[in-house]
Structures are given as C-alpha cells and as structure tokens.
C-alpha cells in the first residue's frame, strides 16, 4: 500500500509526497503555508482521484474533461507529465516526468490505486 508523507518544505511551509508501495514518489504537492492546509490537500487528492477523468492534452482536438481531472501534457523537454486538478480547478498534485505516455498513464493508475486508502505519515 502507498502512503502520504508530510514534511516541512525547504523554504518554509509543508509539502506532501505520495509514495507507492515500493517507496517510489508518484506525486508531489505544492507548498502549503500550514500543516493543516497540507493535510487538507491530501484529503482533496483522495476525493479527486475517485472521480477524476484523464484529459490527454498531447493529442489534437482533445476532449476537455470536467474537474476533478488528470491533465496529461508534454513539458518543455518533450517528456510526459500529469497534474491532478481539484473540483475548483486548482492543481493539487503533480507527477514526475516520463519518457513515454504509457509510463505517465501508469503513474496516474498508481495514484488512483494508492491514494484513496493511503495512510498519512508526518
């Protein structure tokens, strides 16, 4: 089972990492001002992943998905990434870069599998 790890950010505030069962980081958060806000962000991720569709922005004329959603896109280096957006449209988690779209989609599936029941460690 995966887990959320909450820690203090280098320049103040708090962040979380969602780790898969093998310890690999599969998603990271923005910096939150307080630990309570960070914990609320985790609750938001847990709720969002249950309903989130995938919006593949790497194809022409892609279908726009409603929030919450995973947005798959290519970064400036040409690698695949995703971001999870909450119901309000704010980014609540982002993924690492992947060489292939399949790898990116596997990362999303890992989040969907691990996040809902993942314990939180501080």
CATH number of the domain at 17, please: 2.30.29.80
Q: Count other Cβ atoms within 10 Å, centred on residue 4.
A: 23
Per-residue pLDDT of the chain (122 residues; tens, 9 = 90+): 899 999 999 989 999 999 999 999 999 999 999 999 999 999 999 999 999 999 999 999 999 999 999 999 999 999 999 999 999 999 999 999 999 999 999 999 999 999 999 999 99
Strands 53-56 and 69-74: parallel
Residue 1: the pLDDT is: 84
Structural domain for 59, as ranges: 3-121
Number of domains making up the chain: 1
Token pair in block for residue 56: 């593949």
3-state secondary structure of 66: coil
φ, ψ dihedrals at 103, nearest 5°: -60, -40
Exposure on the CB side of residue 86, measured as CA atoms within 13 A = 15
């Amino acid at each position: 089972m995966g887990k959320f790890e909450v820690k203090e950010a280098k320049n103040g505030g708090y962040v979380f990492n969602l780790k898969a069962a093998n310890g690999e980081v599969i998603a990271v958060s923005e910096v939150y001002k307080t630990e309570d806000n960070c914990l609320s962000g985790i609750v938001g991720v847990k709720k969002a992943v249950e309903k989130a569709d995938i919006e593949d922005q790497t194809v022409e004329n892609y279908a726009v998905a409603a929030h919450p959603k995973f947005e798959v896109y290519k970064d400036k280096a040409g690698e695949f990434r995703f971001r999870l957006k909450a119901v309000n449209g704010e980014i609540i988690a982002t993924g690492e870069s992947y060489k292939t779209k399949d790898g990116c989609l596997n990362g999303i599936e890992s989040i969907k599998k691990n996040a809902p029941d993942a314990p939180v460690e501080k």
